[in-house]
Amino acid sequence: MAQKSRGLYSLGVNRPEPSTAPSARLIGEHPSIVRLRQLIDRVGQSKARTVLIYGETGTGKGLVARLLHHASSRTAAPFVDINCAAIPGPLLESELFGHEKGAFTGAVGHKQGLIESADGGTVFLDEVRELDMVMQAKLLTLLDTRRFRRVGSVRTTDVDVRFIAATNKILLGEVKAGAFRDDLYYRLQVVSINLPPLRERGDDLFMLAHAHLDVCNKVYGSRMSQLDPEVEDVFRRYAWPGNVRELENLIERICLLEDGQQVMLKHLPDRIIREARNARPLPAASGAGGTGQPYHVATAQFQKQLIGDVLTECRGNLGDAAARLGLTRHALRHQMQKLEMNSL
């Protein structure tokens, strides 16, 4: 089964695999990451059976899913990572649920499915939006009953797993477009986690760059340890559409192909330099070494920005926005009053 590369540095988490309090190893001091650590620990340790992770490509949805698993009481059981877009449609049901001998041409024996293999643990459904309507209905039944049938079987099988789904699309918009079941959306949306893009994490960008330089130096024997000031300026201005994964891949390529102890402007692709020079600089971090703003001020600004963005996406609908943020309508309204915000 094809899997997306997670990068040498696993999108910002120290190796080896985390055991206790794994979110403490999540790199960054931006308020959004501080809040994310707290949320991972709280949700991971909770009894929530479904979690939905939103985030752009490369923001670390797979990493957060693993951290949730390791923060839970299920950490000793399997974590099964399933990329819903990587398995061809005709094979997906058999891969997920397994099949009986003779269920279809080529089914020469009994096969255990990926979901059954995760019994007691966690199933991570990456790119869940890519499931077709038939598989969405089967997943909904599984979430509701905790039972499934193997392909070709008349018997049901019980399974105890936590489901973590992830998407880089606004599922509510997919529901309104008729591309995603509304009942499945609300079933997955019990707890939602929104991952910030790298361009909104301020100086975390440089913390991640130096951390990945350290890893690549150990792996490849390179000596890169610093970023030239011109490179820092380009990094701050560039929008990072591929987020942390793009940054890691860039650092890895430079350590592989270039010599010296400093990442220089000449080491960067022309495309990145060109796009950065045509853009405004990104804001500095509000954590240590950033703008120097008091923590509570920076946190309030982040909360206002996050709530405002979600309200805009939800066209001012407080109920939808509250669901996206993992809050009740009352809690969201109370938080907006504290922040002196008006609904759209």
Are residue 159 and residue 210 in the same domain, yes or no? Answer: no
Q: Spell out the per-residue pLDDT of the chain, length 344, in tens.
A: 444 444 443 444 333 333 344 555 689 999 999 999 999 999 999 999 999 999 999 999 999 999 999 999 999 999 999 999 998 877 888 888 886 765 566 665 677 889 999 999 999 999 999 999 999 999 999 999 999 888 877 788 999 999 999 999 888 889 989 999 999 999 998 899 999 999 999 999 999 999 999 999 999 999 999 999 999 999 999 999 999 999 999 999 999 999 999 999 999 999 999 999 887 655 544 444 444 444 455 566 777 778 887 887 787 788 888 888 777 777 777 777 777 776 54
Domain end, chosen from 153, 168, 194, is at 194
* Contact present, 87 and 201 (Cβ < 8 Å): no
Domain end, chosen from 194, 212, 238, is at 194
pTM equals: 0.75
pLDDT value at position 158?
Answer: 94
Domain end, chosen from 159, 194, 229, is at 194
Domains identified in the chain, total number: 3
pLDDT value at position 280?
Answer: 61
Are residue 26 and residue 162 in the same domain, yes or no? Answer: yes
pLDDT value at position 35?
Answer: 93
Residue 209 lies in domain: 201-277
Q: Is residue 289 in a domain? A: no
pLDDT value at position 9?
Answer: 38
Are residue 238 and residue 171 in the same domain, yes or no? Answer: no
Q: Is residue 8 in a domain? A: no
Give the CATH number for residue 241: 1.10.8.60
pLDDT value at position 108?
Answer: 57
